[in-house]
């Protein structure tokens, strides 16, 4: 297999360890005076967008940033719970840049690009330094130094955290940097704005069309470069742990204007989420993976066992992760833990009324922590109950907000009964294809954070998305964008009266007018639900050829129906969430089709992509490195038409192996 001539990853030459250092000291620079006349548009102000916008503004570029929420502080990154990885080796447990790199490549089931991942591991430490300096109150030990925890798929403690609210604290840190630049007049912030198209002039990306969500007005914005930092597209499944507004629209518009879409089918299903409680369900809530550190996952050994958890004796419980994967136990990577839960539930061992759940049990942790406290405090003859209470207090300090959330949602007290959990759609490894510079296949158009496909291969390890978003924004794009902008210093700002802007705006306008004038019988929400069901059933945790082929037909039919029968209430020229939703659902439908095509193309199982036809006798994913060690990059060629380009993956620094956590 050879890489398609249309894909140049621009990986610097030389040994892995020196690529980035050498690149940084040789990449063309833009002098400060020229920076002031170069304009950069940033779509999205989550971790990736906020850190990029703030840093680029600090460097002197003129920045415009956009988000659809009423404030940049509300981006979906705010919801991240568990933590952020960095190869600091503060715990002296053998961590290193190489080990973080290795874990990430292996965790991604050997489907990520070595050079990018190594760079990610290299800058990971700087991220923590930066965040602490910006006032992020990470958890600390009594000595005043930073605390770490471990996360799935690794055997070292390299995860930094702030209770169960790490994303919130990191985002508020990046947001304060962003607001500082807004206050200084270096960033123009456009909240409640949705990007609805990119504008291309002479083969380069030169701006965007955005809708002011309050007035409904369409606006044209010029930029020498545009960064898509719009997050992931997990909501294509309708139910996911993503925020309600998370969408693919910005990335999808970029895709339709020429940016290839990488590995669209690589979706992460997170093993520990609160199970669905009924048809009204609008979203699913994650219970952080960090809970697997201390919690033990089990189901009854007997099928259809209806006894309450506390009446099932120890020897009648099946701690199936510990049984199947003794080396990693409850800390196996997400894809493996998710499939194992599905396997047990499908086989009839599930718990709860729906039987589509497994237990996450903290009893052992209460006892262990309780005994620790008893020793620390020198309490003699502590009663079993006293130990339990002390243990619960420790757990409360570590995970209190998560336990409260569980109680609020389910009405059950997780300090008294084990939590019930089930896998749910959580993260999308796929996204816009980018080269080493984070540039898409469209010159001047970049993608950062979850919106790109880059670092996580076929499965992301926990606590790596926050790291990647901030790496891209704080430490990568500020350098790599110079490679492009250095040759743009002579490009004067282009008037937004240019025919390309006029045309792009007209297209957006036509589409909106069309949506609102269909006046059919079903709400955008109803179509979203239908799409989600097709995707979950046929392109979810397990996929097969027949199901995927059916799904493609069903999605095409759904698309046809949507465009002739959707009912969008309200008007174009006003605040209209129904219209916003319709716009997003229309794009999700198109994306869904591509995801199924991608899943169908990949005749192997790897990471989160599990094709039932390709598994080992023990039910583990069976990769096919000979034929599928590539990134799929899909080029849009017209309605329901794509061409597949392949980027061959070369592993020069890692010996590829069958992934084993046994």
Partner 1 sequence: MEGNMNLTLQVWRQKNSRTEGRMETYQLSGISEDMSFLEMFDVLNEQLVHEGKDPVSFDHDCREGICGACSMYINGRPHGPLQGVTTCQLHMRSFKDGDTIVVEPWRAQAFPVIKDLVTDRAAFDRIISAGGYISVNTGNAQDANAIPVAKENADASFMAAACIGCGACVAACKNASAMLFTSAKISQLALLPQGEAERTARAKKMVAQMDEEGFGACTNTGACAAECPKGISMENIARMNREFFVAEIGTKD
For residue 83, the partner it binds in ligand FAD, partner 1, none, with Cβ less than 5 to 8 A by kind, is ligand FAD
Contact 110, 649 (CB under 8 A): yes
Distance (Å, whole) CA 419 – CA 287: 10
The site partner of 54 among partner 1, ligand FAD, none (C-beta below 5 to 8 Å per kind) is partner 1
User: What's the closest the beta carbon of residue 452 comes to ligand FAD, in angstroms?
Assistant: 8
Q: What does 82 interact with, of ligand FAD, partner 1, none (CB < 5 to 8 A by kind)?
A: ligand FAD
Instruction: Classify residue 306 as exposed, middle or buried by CB count within 10 Å of its CB (0-12, 13-18, 19+).
Output: exposed
- Assigned token pair, 552: 């493609």
Contact 396, 452 (CB under 8 A): no
Nearest approach, Cβ of residue 14 and partner 1 (Å) = 23
374 binds, among ligand FAD, partner 1, none (CB under 5 to 8 A by kind): none
Complex with ligand FAD: residue 66 or 349, whichever CB lies closer = 66
Q: What's the distance, CA 289 to chain centroid?
A: 14
Shortest approach of partner 1 to residue 134 CB, angstroms? 5
Q: Is residue 209 classed as helix, strand or coil in its secondary structure?
A: strand
Given partner 1, ligand FAD, none, residue 427, with its beta carbon under 5 to 8 Å by kind, binds: ligand FAD
CA nearest 624: which of 603, 608, 654?
603
- Least CB distance from residue 295 to ligand FAD, whole Å? 16
Name the one residue in this structure whose structure tokens are 């086989």: 347
CA distance 28 to 454: 23
Q: Indicate the residue among 100 and 286 with the shorter CB distance to ligand FAD.
A: 286
138: tokens are: 């990470």
Nearer Cβ to partner 1 (132/201): 132
Please give the C-alpha separations between residue 338 and each of 27, 157, 425, 658, 660, in angstroms, as whole numbers: 42, 22, 10, 19, 16
Q: Which residues share a beta bridge with 634?
A: 261, 644
End-to-end CA distance of the chain: give it in Å, rounded.
Answer: 32
The dihedral built from the CA positions of residue 556, 561, 564 and 567, taken in this order, carries a sign that is negative
The distance of closest approach from Cβ of residue 290 to ligand FAD in the complex, given in angstroms and rounded to an integer, is 7
Q: In this complex, which beta carbon is closest to partner 1, that of residue 14 or of residue 135? A: 135
DSSP annotation string for 498-534: SHHHHHHHHHHHHHHHHHHHH--SB-HHHHHHHHHHH
Smallest gap from Cβ 133 to partner 1, in A, equals: 4
Closest CA to 602 of 657, 646, 635, 639: 646
What does 405 interact with, of partner 1, ligand FAD, none (CB < 5 to 8 A by kind)?
partner 1
Q: Which is nearer to partner 1, 209 or 274 (CB)?
A: 274
CB of 21 to partner 1, least distance (A): 15
Strand 445-447 and strand 225-228: the pairing is: parallel
**What 3-state class would DSSP assign to 652?**
coil
Number of residue whose CB is nearest ligand FAD:
46
The CA angle 251-257-262, to the nearest 5 degrees, is: 50
The structure tokens listed for 484 are: 């492009």
Residue 561: CB atoms within 10 A of its CB come to 15
Q: What separation in angstroms does the CA of 108 have from each of 179, 336, 476, 658?
A: 35, 12, 21, 12
Please give the Cα distance from 616 to 389 (Å, whole number).
45
Residues designated as active site: 334
- Residue 247 binds what, of ligand FAD, partner 1, none (CB under 5 to 8 Å, by partner type)? ligand FAD
331 binds, among ligand FAD, partner 1, none (CB under 5 to 8 A by kind): none
Pick between residue 180 and residue 556 the one whose CB is nearest to partner 1.
180
Structure tokens at 224: 């020498």
Name which of ligand FAD, partner 1, none residue 540 binds, using a CB cut-off of 5 to 8 Å depending on partner kind: none
For ligand FAD, the closer of residues 195 and 481 by Cβ is: 195
- Shortest distance (Å) from residue 180 CB to partner 1: 4
| C-alpha angle 107-248-357 in degrees, rounded to nearest 5 | 55
Whole-angstrom CA distances from 321 to 298, 373, 406, 617 are: 8, 28, 23, 17
Where does residue 525 rank: exposed (0-12), middle (13-18), buried (19+ CB within 10 A)?
middle
Work out the number of other CB atoms within 10 angstroms of the CB of residue 333.
Answer: 29
> Minimum CB separation from partner 1 for residue 264, in Å?
24
* Bridge partner residues of 586 (DSSP): none
- Identify what 621 binds: ligand FAD, partner 1, none; CB under 5 to 8 Å per kind: none
Question: CA 93 to CA 10: how far, in whole Å?
Answer: 35
How near is the Cβ of 182 to partner 1 at its closest, in Å?
Answer: 5
For residue 284, the minimal CB distance to partner 1 (Å) is 10
Residues that bind ligand FAD (CB under 6 A): 43-49, 66-69, 75-77, 79-84, 166-167, 193-195, 229-232, 241-242, 246-247, 249-250, 286, 426-427, 449-451, 463-466, 469
Distance CA 36, CA 121 (A): 32
Taking alpha carbons only, the member of 252, 264, 423, 223 closest to residue 338 is 423
Residue 186 vs 464, nearer CB to partner 1:
186
Q: By C-beta, is 232 or 547 nearer to ligand FAD?
A: 232
Residue with tokens 């920076």: 35
Question: Could you give the angle at the alpha carbon of 447 between the alpha carbons of 444 and 453, nearest 5°?
Answer: 135
| Closer to partner 1 by Cβ: residue 5 or 278 | 278
Residue 578 interface partner, choices ligand FAD, partner 1, none, CB cut-off 5-8 Å depending on type: partner 1
């Amino acid at each position: 297999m050879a890489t398609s001539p249309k894909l140049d990853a621009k990986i610097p030459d030389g040994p892995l360890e020196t690529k980035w250092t050498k690149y940084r000291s040789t990449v063309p620079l833009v002098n400060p005076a020229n920076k002031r006349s170069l304009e950069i548009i940033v779509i999205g102000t989550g971790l990736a967008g906020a850190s990029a916008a703030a840093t680029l503004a600090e460097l002197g570029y003129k920045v415009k940033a956009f988000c659809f929420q009423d404030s940049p502080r509300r981006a979906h990154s705010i919801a991240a719970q568990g933590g952020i990885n960095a190869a600091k080796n503060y715990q002296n447990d053998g961590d290193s840049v190489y080990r973080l790199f290795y874990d990430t490549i292996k965790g991604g089931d050997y489907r990520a690009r070595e050079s990018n991942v190594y760079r990610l591991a290299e800058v990971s430490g700087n991220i923590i330094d930066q965040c602490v300096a910006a006032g992020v109150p990470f958890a600390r030990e009594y000595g005043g130094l930073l605390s770490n925890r471990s996360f799935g798929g690794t055997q070292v403690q390299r995860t930094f955290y702030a209770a169960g609210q790490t994303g919130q604290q990191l985002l508020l840190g990046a947001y304060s940097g962003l607001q500082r630049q807004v206050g200084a007049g270096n960033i123009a912030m456009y909240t409640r704005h949705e990007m609805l198209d990119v504008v291309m002039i002479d083969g380069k990306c030169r701006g965007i069309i955005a809708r002011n969500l309050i007035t409904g007005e369409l606006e044209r914005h010029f930029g020498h470069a545009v960064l898509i930092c719009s997050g992931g597209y997990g909501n294509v499944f309708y139910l996911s742990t993503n925020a309600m507004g998370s969408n693919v629209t910005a990335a999808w518009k970029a895709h339709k204007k020429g940016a290839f879409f990488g590995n669209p089918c690589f979706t992460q299903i997170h093993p520990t989420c609160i199970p669905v409680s009924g048809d009204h369900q609008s979203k699913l809530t994650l219970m952080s993976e960090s809970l697997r550190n201390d919690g033990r996952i089990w189901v009854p050994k007997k099928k259809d066992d209806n006894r309450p958890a506390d009446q099932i004796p120890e020897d009648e419980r099946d701690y199936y992760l510990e049984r199947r994967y003794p080396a990693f136990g409850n800390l196996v990577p997400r894809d493996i833990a998710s499939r194992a839960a599905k396997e047990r539930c499908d086989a009839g061992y599930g718990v709860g009324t729906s039987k589509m759940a497994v237990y996450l049990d903290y009893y052992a942790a209460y006892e262990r922590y309780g005994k620790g406290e008893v020793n620390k405090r020198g309490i003699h003859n502590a009663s079993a109950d006293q130990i339990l209470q002390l243990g619960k207090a420790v757990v409360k300090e570590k995970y209190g907000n998560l336990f409260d959330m569980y109680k609020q949602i389910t009405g059950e007290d997780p300090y008294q009964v084990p939590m019930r959990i089930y896998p749910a759609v959580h993260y999308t490894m796929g996204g816009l294809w980018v080269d080493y510079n984070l540039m898409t296949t469209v010159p001047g158009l970049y993608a950062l954070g979850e919106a790109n496909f880059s670092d996580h291969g076929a499965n992301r390890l926990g606590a790596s998305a926050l790291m990647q978003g901030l790496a891209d924004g704080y430490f990568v794009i500020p350098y790599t964008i110079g490679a492009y902008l250095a040759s743009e210093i002579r490009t004067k700002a282009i008037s937004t009266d240019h025919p390309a802007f006029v045309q792009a705006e007209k297209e957006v306008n036509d589409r909106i007018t069309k949506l609102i004038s269909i006046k059919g019988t079903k709400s955008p929400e109803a179509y979203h639900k239908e799409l989600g069901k097709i995707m979950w059933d046929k392109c979810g945790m397990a996929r097969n050829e027949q199901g995927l082929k059916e799904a493609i037909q069903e999605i095409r039919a759904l698309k046809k129906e949507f465009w002739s029968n959707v009912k969008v209430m309200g008007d174009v020229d006003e605040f209209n969430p129904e219209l916003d939703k319709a716009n997003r659902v229309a794009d999700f439908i198109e994306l869904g089709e591509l995801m199924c095509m991608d899943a169908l193309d990949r005749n192997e199982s790897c990471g989160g992509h599990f094709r039932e036809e390709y598994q080992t006798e023990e039910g583990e994913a069976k990769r096919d490195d000979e034929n599928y060690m590539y990134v799929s990059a899909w080029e849009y060629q017209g309605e329901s038409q794509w061409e597949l380009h392949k980027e061959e993956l070369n592993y020069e620094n890692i010996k590829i192996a069958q992934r084993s956590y046994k």
